[in-house]
Amino acid sequence: MEKGRLQSFSDGVIAIIITIMVLELKIPSSDSIASLKPLLPVFISYILSFIYIGIYWNNHHHMFYAVTRVNGKVLWANLHLLFWLSLIPFVTGWVGENHFTTIPVALYGVILLMSAVAWTILSRTLIKQHGKTSLIATAFGKDIKGTFSLIIYAAAIIVSFINPLISLGLYVVVAIMWFVPDRRIEKLI
Amino acid sequence: MEKGRLQSFSDGVIAIIITIMVLELKIPSSDSIASLKPLLPVFISYILSFIYIGIYWNNHHHMFYAVTRVNGKVLWANLHLLFWLSLIPFVTGWVGENHFTTIPVALYGVILLMSAVAWTILSRTLIKQHGKTSLIATAFGKDIKGTFSLIIYAAAIIVSFINPLISLGLYVVVAIMWFVPDRRIEKLI
Amino acid sequence: MEKGRLQSFSDGVIAIIITIMVLELKIPSSDSIASLKPLLPVFISYILSFIYIGIYWNNHHHMFYAVTRVNGKVLWANLHLLFWLSLIPFVTGWVGENHFTTIPVALYGVILLMSAVAWTILSRTLIKQHGKTSLIATAFGKDIKGTFSLIIYAAAIIVSFINPLISLGLYVVVAIMWFVPDRRIEKLI
Amino acid sequence: MEKGRLQSFSDGVIAIIITIMVLELKIPSSDSIASLKPLLPVFISYILSFIYIGIYWNNHHHMFYAVTRVNGKVLWANLHLLFWLSLIPFVTGWVGENHFTTIPVALYGVILLMSAVAWTILSRTLIKQHGKTSLIATAFGKDIKGTFSLIIYAAAIIVSFINPLISLGLYVVVAIMWFVPDRRIEKLI
């Protein structure tokens, strides 16, 4: 099957996810600078989530560049990833409105963890389809950065019950780690 | 006429439908785990509807892969399908917020039934345009799974007046039945 | 300039317009059939607007099929059309929530009229760019159906001050008139 | 890397931004003409923002027409631009609902300024990648109009503390200045 439509559908869903998050920035009733202040935590969580969604889009872009064909399993592995990403606007709003308290920060981590798990499943499914000697297998074969992220997310969820701000710091660390788009594909080409 | 734009427009609409459903997950005012509890039925209905929309997208992808050209009738048959799919976020929210009571569950079934009818009309229109010996006619000619789904939806609507949870179970059964993407096209190619 | 990106951008905007209209169908607080009753006028106006947006998308599809290149003026004429179409969800909701009273029905007509004017400007701009002997000029040269629609919209706006339901009937008449996609292009090819 | 997916993702995000702004036009509870009056400032700010987003889309269209390839830095420079553009619906609603008072008008200017800065960074990143003798470097090399816009935005932010309506006038001036799409690319081709 053609990969083009999977890419454009994913682009559409990711574009909507990244944009509807801004609807959580509720317009203040007053026109003073002070009325913006309660929006600050929502704005900070918006920036973090925007960067996360941006990272996923960038890496999705890179991953499917190395892919030649997709089957039914890939379509569902991809939808599974989009499902978890679609929950990011919800946890972004919740974490922001509650000023980064324990439960929302932990749930934010759960959604990030599940998104990362879904990403891993997607890459495994693609590698299985394309074979062990394929470009995608060589590029994603030993996904150290991916495994490392999963560990940090899991740690951050636990840490949020002690100090949610440390968890937040860990999410920022993973974001920085992934900020640089995956050069493995570019290098191999 | 070119099929590309019909595909990309459908992808856009389906991407928006699948994503705006998440807006029904209203952010709780408190930050406790308990505050997430009332969201559980909405979340369950979100998962079910996400899978349904995903199935429609997958099968739409497969169906139009086998299609070479589209005419005005196909454009409208496709819009008719998108119309019923666009109502899924509404019934998803309603069914979730009312914890799967009779009328919302029955209406959910009506929308699923109408979507399936619209899908059947679309496949018939495409077969009519491409001729009886075409790839699409061979693949969709005897749509046993489609007919079977219509019967289960109709049964589930009636059953919802006795026990709406059984209806819900029937919707899940149909979803599982369709979960595997339509291999008929892939086999024929 | 390439026409592909103009098409995909227009598809995106039209897909969002057609889908966010459904957000006007507010989820009722109760789970009874009676609670759906106040939604009926909103649902009727949703169907009408869905068909209108569908007609614009179909005809946009046909029009740009006959187009070979686009310039800066075409980009703006197209954005001007999208501007008026983007106001359709607003008037759809207003007309539905007020059960088709005079001012909302008149404003609905104004938006339809302005959309039709924008459509005419877009077709004129394309004809001017492509020349009088071009495919698009031959197809859209004498736009009798377009002119006729403008007159009916204007009449419907006036009539809404006497009886808004007659205006609504006139909008339905124009919709039926345009329902059949523009065969002029198909015939010429 | 291919530029197509960057274009279609940007089109998606820009299409959503331009369309969700209309959700700020809240449906009035009454059906009188008078009930539309408080929406007038929101509508005016909607028109201005629609034109601004339209300008960005047009120029994005032109810029990437001159681009042959994109790297990771370009992907992030582009996401950075989309981030600031995504905040336009928020400031549009705030400025409109407060009838163009100082702080909202100043913040509107800040978002326009940051969008323009992001645009400049994106064009610099593309020039750096393509080299000083490339088409894009020749077209965007001495971006006088861009620099001029930055100065006006900065001035307008300061002026808003004296008279916000003058600032609004300055935003309109910049919009008119950019209304004509960038002919430099077209001329060079």
What's the pLDDT tens digit per position in D14-42?
A: 999 999 999 989 999 899 999 999 999 99
- What are the chain A neighbours of B32 within 8 Å (beta carbons)? 103
A57: pLDDT strictly greater than 70? yes
pLDDT for position D188? 63
Q: Which candidate, D127, D126, D17, places its Cα nearest to that of D75?
A: D126
Cβ-Cβ pairs closer than 8 A, C with D, add up to 79
* B28 secondary structure, DSSP code: P
| Interface residues on D facing C, Cβ-Cβ cutoff 8 A | 7-8, 11-12, 14-16, 18-20, 22-23, 25, 27-28, 31-33, 36, 47, 50, 54, 57-58, 61-62, 65, 179-181, 183, 186
Which residues does C15 contact at the CB level (< 8 Å), separation at least 6? B9, B12, B13, B15, B16, D15
The minimum CA-CA distance between D1 and chain A, rounded to whole Å, is 8
**Choosing among C2, C8, C11, C64, which should be mutated to test the B contact, i.e. which has the most B CBs within 10 A?**
C11
In one letter, which amino acid is C86? S
Q: Do A32 and D104 touch (CB under 8 A)?
A: no
**Whether A16 and D20 lie within 8 Å, measured CB to CB:** no
Tell whether the torsion through CA atoms of B157, B160, B166 and B171 is positive or negative. positive
Contact D87, A22 (CB under 8 A): yes
Q: What is the DSSP string of B35-52?
A: GGGGGHHHHHHHHHHHHH
Pick from B93, B97, B18: which is nearest to A80 by CA?
B18
Of B15, B32, B181, the CB nearest to A13: B15
Calpha distance B16→B86 (Å, rounded): 9
Q: Tell me the average pLDDT of chain C.
A: 90
Specify the 3-state DSSP secondary structure of B1.
Answer: coil
B46 vs C contacts (CB less than 8 Å): none
Look at residues D85, C47, A77, C15 and name the one whose alpha carbon lies nearest to residue B15. C15
Q: What is the pLDDT of residue C2?
A: 74
Let me know how many helices (H) and strands (E) chain C has, helices first: 9, 0
Interface of D with A (CB under 8 A): 1-2, 5-6, 8-9, 12-13, 15-17, 20, 23-24, 71-72, 75-76, 79, 82-83, 86-87, 89-90, 93-94, 97-98, 101-104, 107
pLDDT value of residue D56? 94
pLDDT digits (tens, 9 = 90+) for D112-124: 999 999 999 999 9
Which is more confident, D16 or D143?
Answer: D16
| Residue A189 pLDDT | 59
Closest by Cβ to B79, choosing from C20, C31, C54: C54
- What is the predicted pLDDT for the residue at A3? 85
CA distances to A74, D69, D70, D78, D123 from D64, rounded to whole Å, are 30, 9, 9, 11, 10
> How far apart (Å, rounded) are the C-alpha atoms in residues A90 and A99?
14
State the pLDDT at residue C159.
97
Is the pLDDT reported for residue A171 higher than 60?
yes
Identify all chain D residues contacting A180, using CB atoms and an 8 Å cutoff: 72
Which pLDDT score is estimated for B185? Answer: 60
In this predicted structure, the answer to whether residue A183 has a pLDDT above a threshold of 80 is no
H or E stretch including A69?
Answer: none
What is the distance in angstroms between the Cα of B79 and the nearest Cα belonging to chain C? 7
Residues of C in contact with B164 (CB under 8 A): none
**Tokens 């029937």 belong to which residue?**
B170
User: Per CB distance under 8 Å, which residues of B are interface residues toward A?
Assistant: 7-8, 11-12, 14-16, 18-20, 22-23, 25, 27-28, 31-33, 36, 47, 50, 54, 57-58, 61-62, 65, 179-181, 183, 186
Of A79, A80, A109, the C-alpha closest to A94 is A109
Per-residue confidence at A65, pLDDT binned at 50, 70, 90? confident
CB atoms within 10 A of CB A123: 21
Contact across the interface for B1 and C25, Cβ inside 8 Å: no
A90–B183 CB contact, under 8 Å: no
Neighbouring CB atoms inside 10 A of C42's CB total 21
Count of A–D CB contacts within 8 Å? 78
Sign of the torsion formed by the C-alpha atoms of C130, C133, C138 and C140? positive
Residues of chain B with pLDDT under 70: 1, 141, 180-189
pLDDT category at A111 given cuts 50, 70, 90 is: very high
What is the reported pLDDT for D77? 95
pLDDT at C181 over 60: no
Quick one: pLDDT band at residue C102, thresholds 50, 70, 90? very high
Look at residues B21, B51, B118, B107 and name the one whose alpha carbon lies nearest to residue B79. Answer: B118
Closest residue by Cα to residue C27 from B104, B35, B46? B104
Residue D143 has pLDDT above 80, yes or no: no
Give the closest residue to A13 by CA, choosing from B49, B157, D135, B17: B17
At A182 the pLDDT is: 56
- Give percent of chain D above pLDDT 70: 94
The dihedral of CA B172, B174, B180, B181: what is its sign? negative
A179–D76 CB contact, under 8 Å:
yes
CA C121 to chain centre: 14
How far is the CA of B160 from the CAs of B9, B40, B170, C138, D158, in angstroms?
35, 20, 10, 57, 63
pLDDT digits (tens, 9 = 90+) for D38-86: 999 999 999 999 999 999 998 898 888 888 888 888 999 999 999 999 9
CA dihedral in degrees (A170, A172, A173, A175; nearest 10)? 130
Residue C117 contacts residue C163 (beta carbons within 8 Å): no
Distance CA D3, CA B137 (A): 37
As given in the structure block, the two tokens for residue B11 are: 């992808």
Spatial separation of the C-alpha atoms in residues C109 and C103, rounded to whole Å? 10
Element at A9 (helix H, strand E): helix A4-20
Chain B: closest CA distance from residue A75 (Å): 7
Which pLDDT score is estimated for D76?
92
**Cross-chain Cβ contact A62/D1 below 8 Å:** yes
What's the token pair of residue C139? 């197809």
**For residue C122, what are the CA distances in angstroms to B31, C4, C117, D134?**
52, 16, 9, 34
Contact B65 A1 (CB under 8 A): yes
Residue of D nearest to A58 (CA): D75
Using a CB-CB cut-off of 8 Å, the residues of chain C touching B17 are 19
B61 closest CB neighbour out of A5, A15, A87: A5
CB A63 within 8 A of CB A125: no
**What is the H or E stretch that residue D70 is in?**
none
Reference C18, options B9, B21, B52; nearest CA is B9
B105 three-class SS: helix
Do B17 and C16 count as a contact with CB atoms less than 8 A apart? no
Which positions in chain A have a beta carbon within 8 angstroms of at least one beta carbon in chain D? 7-8, 11-12, 14-16, 18-20, 22-23, 25, 27-28, 31-33, 36, 47, 50, 54, 57-58, 61-62, 65, 179-181, 183, 186
The string of pLDDT tens digits covering residues B34-84 is 999 999 999 999 999 999 999 999 889 888 888 888 888 899 999 999 999
Kindly state the average pLDDT of the residues A133-140: 79
Q: What pLDDT sits at residue A157?
A: 97
Which residue of D8, D19, D29, D61 to mutate against C (max C Cβ within 10 Å)?
D19
- Shortest Cα distance from C185 to chain B (angstroms)? 10
The reply to whether residue D86 touches residue A18, judged by beta carbons under 8 angstroms, is yes
